[in-house]
Structure 1
Amino acid sequence: MSGDYVALPSDWVRVSCTVPLPPREVWSALTEPDRVAQWLGSLNARMTPGHNVVLDFGDGDFFDVVVHDVRAEDRIAFEWRFLGVGPASEVRWSLSTEDGHSTVTVDDSCPGRPPSETAQLRAGWLDFLNRLATHLTTGESARYRWREVIDGGADLPAGTWRPLRDGSITDWLPVAAESGKPRWFFVVDSDGPRRFAIRDWKLIPDKSLTFAVAVPQATAVTRCEVLATETEQGSRLAISHTGWSELGLGDLQARGLRHRFAAAWTAALALAEDHAHRTARSGPR
C-alpha cells in the first residue's frame, strides 16, 4: 500500500494502491456491485455513464453518485455528494498495470475544500484502498461495520438568513422547546416519530452550537456540534454527532439508532440548504 502524493491543489486528494493481480480481476472489484459491497459499500445499480446511483454504507451514510465516464479496465469518473447535500466532489478511479501488478489510483477534487477536510479525506481514501487490497488478495470481505461519527455539511449562499440564531434554529433543525428552552430532538422516519431529550445546549450565534442527546436506557449521551464558517460564496454549515459506540447498548441497537439519526441530520442539512437558497432569492424575511 502506498500514498502516492504529488504537487496538487490543496483541495485535491490523490492516493493509490498496487496489488499482484491482473487488471480484469481488479476491474471486477471496482465495478461489480456484489464485489464493491465487499470493500466499500452497496451500489443500487452498476456504474453506467449518464446514470445516477446510490452508494449506501448501511449505517445511515450514503453518497448520491452521478456517473460521467466508464472505460473498461482503465477508469471510472463520477461526481458524488455525501448524504445527497453539500458540494459535489469529482472522483476518478484509474487502473494501470506493470509487470503483472495492477495499480488503482484515486483522484478526488472539490474546489474550496479546506485543508483539514482534505487531510481527513486522504486518510479515508487510504483506508478504503487498504480494504480493497485486502479483499483482492484474500477474497474475503474487508468492509467496515459502521462509523462511529455522523458528520456532513452544506454550503449556503450569502444572504440574510443565519442558521445558528435563536430565531432560525427551528427552520432546519428538528428540535422543540419547553418553557423557552430547547428540550427535544425529533427523529421521524418509517419507524414513526420519536423524541430524545436535549441537554447542555450552548449556542454561540453565527458560530457554533453544541448539545447532548440522551438515549433511553443508554449509559452515556451522544454529543452534537454544529459549526458555521464563512466562505467566499456564503457560509459552510458542518455537523458532527458522536458517541454511538459508547451508549452501553447492543451493537445492532446502537447501529439502528445511528441510522435513524443520520437520516434526521441528512434531512436537516437539506432543509438548511433549501431555506438558505429560498431566502437568498427572496431577500430579507
Structure 2
Amino acid sequence: MDPDQIDPASEGRVLSPDDGDYLRFERTLAHPPAEVWQALTHPDRTAAWAYRTEFEPREGGAVTMSSGGDGEVLAWDEPHALEYAWEGYGGRWHVRIAIADSHHGTLLTFDHVAPDPNNPDFAAGWHWHLDRLEQHLAGEEPAQVDSDAHFEELQRLYTHAEG
C-alpha cells in the first residue's frame, strides 16, 4: 500500500441514525475472517498496528490497553463481532467491529461510537490505524511511531472535509 495514496473508499464517514452519530469505516481485506479476528484480538497482533490490547474473551470481560486505558468487552462473537469500551484520552471510548465473509476475503465494518464521532482527529487516527492493520495483515511491519507523514495527510483530509 502506498501511504501517499488515500483511497476514497477507505475513508470514514459519519452516520446519523436515530440513536446517535457514529463514524464508520468499511474495508475489504484479502484475508479470511479468522485471520482478521486474530489481528484484532491477540495482544501481540494489536500492538503491531495500534496499541497492545488484552481482552478477556467474553461479553463482560476486561479490556486492558498498553496506552493506559481499561474497559469492558460489550460483545464477543468470535470471529464475527467485537464491541468494547474503555476510559482513555478524551473520555470514554467505544468501538463496534463486525467481520463478515466476502468474495474477496473479509468485509470489516469498524464503528467509532464515542467520544465525538464528528472529531476529524479521531477520523484521521482510526483511518491511520486501519491502514496499519492492512499492512500488518499483508505481512509488513508498520513502524512503531505515534505519527507519520501519512497520518498528517489524513489529518489534513479530514479537517478539510469538515470545513
What TM-score do the two structures reach when normalised by structure 2?
A: 0.71
Within a 5 Å distance, the mapping from 1:52-131 to structure 2 comes to 52-56=62-66, 61-83=67-89, 87-110=91-114, 113=116, 115=118, 118-131=119-132
Distance in 2 (CA, whole Å) between partners of 1:69 and 1:114 is 20
| Mapped contact 1:15–1:122 kept (Cα < 8 A) | no
Identity %: 30
Query: Quick check: 1:21 aligned with 2:31?
Result: yes
Distance in 2 (CA, whole Å) between partners of 1:7 and 1:37 is 29
Q: Larger % of strand: which?
A: 1
Partner of 1:281: none
| Mapped contact 1:17–1:133 kept (Cα < 8 A) | no
User: What per-residue deviation string (whole Å, max 9, x for no partner) do you get for residues 172-214 of structure 1?
Assistant: xxxxxxxxxxxxxxxxxxxxxxxxxxxxxxxxxxxxxxxxxxx
Partner of 1:151: none
Give the number of the structure whose alpha-carbon radius of gyration is greater: 1
Partner of 1:193: none
Task: Provide the aligned length of Structure 1 versus Structure 2.
Answer: 138
Within a 5 Å distance, the mapping from 1:128-167 to structure 2 comes to 128-137=129-138, 139-142=139-142, 144-146=144-146
Alpha-carbon shift at residue 27 of structure 1 (Å): 1.1
What TM-score do the two structures reach when normalised by structure 1?
A: 0.43
Larger relative contact order (CA 8 Å, sep ≥ 6):
2
Partner of 1:8: 16
Partner of 1:214: none
Question: Superposition RMSD on alpha carbons, in Å?
Answer: 2.6
Where does structure 1 lack aligned partners over 5 or more consecutive residues? 149-285
Q: Larger % of helix: which?
A: 2
Where does structure 2 lack aligned partners over 5 or more consecutive residues? 1-6, 149-163
